[in-house]
Amino acid sequence: MSKNKIVIYPDKRKPVKIYVGNNFLTDDVIMEITKHIGSCWEFIAPQLNIGHDATERFKMDYPGNCRMQMYSMFIQWRDNNVNKTTIKMLVDILEECRRNVTINIDNVRKLLYVVEFVE
């Protein structure tokens, strides 16, 4: 009885870190960012030129769901500034807000880069 051996060849491609901070914000990136922000997200709104009425509307639209409230805020900011909002812009704003809002800024900064594998 012979046993079949599985041979795994190492991947010849190498990981390369690519800066994507100048890319425009996508819905997926915005949703990922919301995972790294605490529940006091309302303190970010003034930095995005989003007023109190809008933040209250987000809370009413998604009661008890902070991530969707934040997501709505960031989407509104992006849509109000079409073709201007980049990942880096939002990361910079969040850096400034860290004193008032719990933000895992290290994880947010990681979104400035993607890893691609090249030969």
Domain coordinates of the chain in residue numbers? Answer: 14-118
The string over 34-45, giving b where at least 16 C-beta atoms fall within 10 Å of a residue's C-beta and e elsewhere, is bebbeeebbebb
| The listed CATH number (2.30.42.10, 1.10.533.10, 3.30.830.10, 3.40.50.300) that belongs to domain 14-118 | 1.10.533.10
**Is the pLDDT score of 97 beyond 80?**
yes
Burial of 11 (0-12, 13-18, 19+ CB in 10 A): exposed
74-95 pLDDT, tens per residue?
A: 999 999 998 889 999 999 999 9
pTM of the model: 0.83
47: tokens are 């930095």
Cβ atoms within 10 Å, residue 64 = 7
